[in-house]
Structure 1
Amino acid sequence: MDTTTIVLVLAAVVTVSIVIIVLSQMRERARIERARKITAQEDAYHRAYRLLSEIPGQYLTPDLKLLLIKRMEEACAELASLKSNLPVRQWQESAAEMKQQVLEKRDSTTPVKIDSPEKSNYVKELLQNLFKMIETMHKSGRLDAATAKKNLKYVLFLVHKTHADLHVFQARDYVRQNQIRKAIHAYHLASTEMGKSRDNPLAMKAVKSFRTRIKELEALSAEGQESQHADSQSKLDREWDTFLHDDEWKKKADYDD
């Protein structure tokens, strides 16, 4: 075998080796990318499901529920196209059933009383995650600008409400301890939080109610009344726990300027 032939054979071997290596790397990159996409969509599905399951029932409007279910359905569609080994069909059937229940108003809505700083902070974290999810859906083109704006505004209102919930909880505790001035201050803070959503009629109704409660406590404080009497006079405290799912509050908010 002459030198030229040897060189050509070696060149062919090197070329074939390079092609094999490149193809192997391409397949590995494709495998890694597919695994990354599957993980991302699985996480997206579980995040949406968690928000739907764990955000207090009184906070989630039908629109928000359908938006979360929509995100779950999108994640399932992506997972199906990627031929993942996850129970996608089961997830799709579950999402379809939940969607039907919401549309037919058969879904259960269990209010959760926000009566501790821990609960308030946890709900706030969930709502912040929901806010980010809606932003991401809008930026990726899966949600139109008008729908995104409406839902983002409402979720921001809910974040303000979680702060107000905490201040109301603290105010009630101060009243029980006969620390009326501190209770008044806490109600002022609650009013300030709700006042941040000035374009929401329900928030403005709450602000008016807080102001009424503050006047009640100021009068009782001036008269030197006992905390038990102050607590019994609080119609607001009884209404606040059902604030978002009380039809009477919503009716007043819709028509009372």
Structure 2
Amino acid sequence: MDTTTIVLLLAAIVTVSIVIIVLSQMRERARIERARKITAQEDAYNRANRLLTEIPGQYLTADLKLLLIKRMEEACAELAGLKSNLPVKEWQKSAAELKTQIVEKRDTTTPVKIDSAEKSNYVKELLQNLFKMIEAMHKSGRIDSATAKKNLKYVLFLVHKTHADLHVFQARDYVRQNQIRKAIHAYHLASTEMGKSRDNPLAMKAVKSFRTRIQELEAMSAEGKESPQGESKLDREWDTFLHDDEWKKKADYDD
């Protein structure tokens, strides 16, 4: 075997080795990228599902629920295309059933009281994550600008409502303890929070109701009266603020 043949043979061996290494690296990169995409879509599904199940039921409108289900369905479609080993078909079936219930107004809503700073902060964190998710859906073209704007504005309103919930709970507690000045301060804080959503009619009606309650308590304090037993009319109404037709009528018809 002459020198030229040996050189060519060695060159061929080196070339084949390089091709094998490159192909191996490409397959590994493809495997890593596929795993990354599967993890990302699984996280997207779990994040949307968590928001749907953990945000207090009274906060989620049908539109927000359907947006969350839309994100879950999109994640499932991506996972199906990636042929993951996750129970995608079960997730898709569950999402479809829940979507039907929401559209037909058969889904159940369980109100949750915001009665501690910890709970208020946790719900606020969930709402902030919901806000980011809607923004991401808009940027990626999954929803149009009008849908994004409407829902983002409502989520901001819910953040303010969460803080107001805590202040109302504290105010009630102060009234029960006959600490009227502290109760008045707590209602002022609740009014300030709702006032941040000035373009929401429900929020403005809540502000008016808080001011009325503050006037009642100020009159009670000036006369040296003790707080009456039981909840006030405002407190009873506040518990059903987001799903009571009475508040909606106030927002629509009251001047």
Q: TM-score band, normalised by the shorter chain?
A: over 0.9
Q: Report the Cα distance in structure 2 between the residues aligned to 1:151 and 1:22, rounded to whole angstroms.
A: 48
CA distance in 2, matches of 1:37, 1:144: 24
Measured after TM superposition, the shift of residue 122 of structure 1 is 1.4
Deviation per CA, 1:128-156, whole angstroms, max 9, x where unpaired? 11001000101111111110000000000
Give the whole-Å Cα distance in 2 for the aligned partners of 1:97 and 1:49. Answer: 14
CA 1:29–1:233 in structure 2 vs 1: closer, same or farther (change >3 Å)?
A: closer
For structure 1, which segment, 234-243 or 67-76, has the greater mean C-alpha deviation from structure 2 after superposition? 234-243
- Give the fraction of aligned pairs with identical amino acids, expressed as a percent: 90
2:247 aligned residue (240, 246, 249): 249
Aligned residue number for residue 143 of structure 2? 143
CA positional deviation for 1:158: 0.1
State the Cα distance separating 1:117 from its structure 2 match. Answer: 1.7
- 1:1-30 Cα distance to aligned partner (Å, 9 max, x none): 111111111111111111100100000000
Distance in 2 between residues matched to 1:38 and 1:102, nearest whole Å: 28
Aligned length: 254
Q: Which runs of 5+ in 2 are unaligned?
A: none
- Give the distance between the partners of 1:256 and 1:153, measured in 2 at CA: 23
Partner residue, 2:208:
208
Deviates more, 1:76-85 or 1:48-57: 48-57
Question: Aligned partners of 2:197 and 2:90: how far apart in 1?
Answer: 40
Tell me the distance in 2 between the aligned counterparts of 1:97 and 1:79.
Answer: 19
Moved more, 206-215 or 177-186: 177-186
**Runs of 4+ with >2 A deviation:** none
Unmatched segments (≥5 aa) in structure 1? none
Question: 2:178 and 2:193 mapped to 1: Cα distance?
Answer: 24
Q: CA deviation at 1:186?
A: 1.0
Partner deviation per Cα, 1:146-192 (whole Å, 9 max, x = no partner): 10000000000000000111111111122222221111111111101
Q: Which moved more, 1:121-130 or 1:24-33?
A: 121-130
Q: Match of 1:215, SS?
A: helix
Distance 2:231 2:34 in 1: 62
Deviation (angstroms), 1:113:
1.6
Distance, in Å, in 2 between the alignment partners of 1:223 and 1:243 is 31
Per mean C-alpha deviation after superposition, the further-off stretch among 164-173 and 73-82 is: 164-173
Q: CA deviation at 1:233?
A: 6.4
Cα 1:232–1:131, aligned 2, differ >3 Å: closer, same or farther?
Answer: same
User: Quick one: distance in 2 between partners of 1:105 and 1:182?
Assistant: 41
Q: 1:233 to 1:37 in 2, by over 3 A?
A: closer
- 1:68, CA displacement in angstroms? 0.5
Write the deviation string for residues 91-125 of structure 1: whole angstroms up to 9, x where unpaired: 10111000000111111111112222222111111
Q: CA deviation at 1:232?
A: 3.8
For residues 83 and 103 of structure 2, the distance between their equivalents in structure 1, rounded to whole angstroms, comes to 30
Summarize the Cα distance change of 1:232–1:223 in structure 2 as closer, same or farther, 3 Å threshold.
farther
**Does the residue aligned with 2:53 lie in a helix, a strand or coil?**
helix
**Equivalent-residue separation in structure 2 for 1:41 and 1:57 (angstroms):** 25
Distance in 2, matches of 1:170 and 1:108, equals 28
Deviations 1:199-219 (A, max 9, x none): 100000100000001001100
Give the TM-score normalised by the residue count of structure 2. 0.97
Point out the more displaced range, 49-58 or 233-242: 233-242
- Alpha-carbon separation, structure 2, partners of 1:233 and 1:49: 36
Note closer, same or farther for the CA distance 1:41–1:233 as it changes in structure 2 (3 Å cut): closer
1-side partners of 2:116 and 2:218: how far apart?
25
- TM-score normalised by structure 1 residue count: 0.96
- Find the aligned partners of 1:17 and 1:175 in 2 and give their Cα distance: 82
1:121 counterpart residue number: 121
